[in-house]
Amino acid sequence: MGVFLRVLLVVGAVLLVIKLLKSRRKPPEPPPPAPAARPAVKSPAEIVACAHCALRLPQAEAVQAGDGRYFCGEAHRRAAEQRLD
């Protein structure tokens, strides 16, 4: 039984050494992936106030009168013109 235990101990020690050597020799890590391109950020829209009701809305959605004033819709533009007349 003494020889069997010695062989078992030697085999265990050899397996432990092999495992330690393998764990030290790690393969090189692949380079990190390139960061994803960030979507283009839209510039904030210019906000204007309706000259009739003071509603704030993007300039692109506003109706502009001939004198440069902005309105939230055609009805308010006409109402402001009638008030001036």
How far CA 31 is from CA of 26, 37, 63, 70, 81, in Å, comes to 15, 17, 54, 55, 67
How many domains in the chain?
Answer: 1
Going by DSSP bridges, is the β-strand pair 63-64/47-49 parallel, antiparallel, or unpaired?
unpaired
Specify if 36 maps to a domain. Answer: no
Task: Give the pLDDT mean for 33-55.
Answer: 86
- Asked, for residue 10, whether it belongs to a domain, the answer is no
At residue 32, the 3 state secondary structure works out as coil
- Cβ contact 71:58 at 8 Å: no
- Is the pLDDT at 32 greater than 80, yes or no? yes
Q: Would residue 62 count as lying in a domain? A: yes
Whether residue 70 is contained in a domain is answered as: yes
User: Rounded mean pLDDT of 10-24?
Assistant: 88
pTM over the 0.95 mark? no
Question: In the predicted model, what is the mean pLDDT of the chain?
Answer: 87
Range of the domain at 69: 47-84
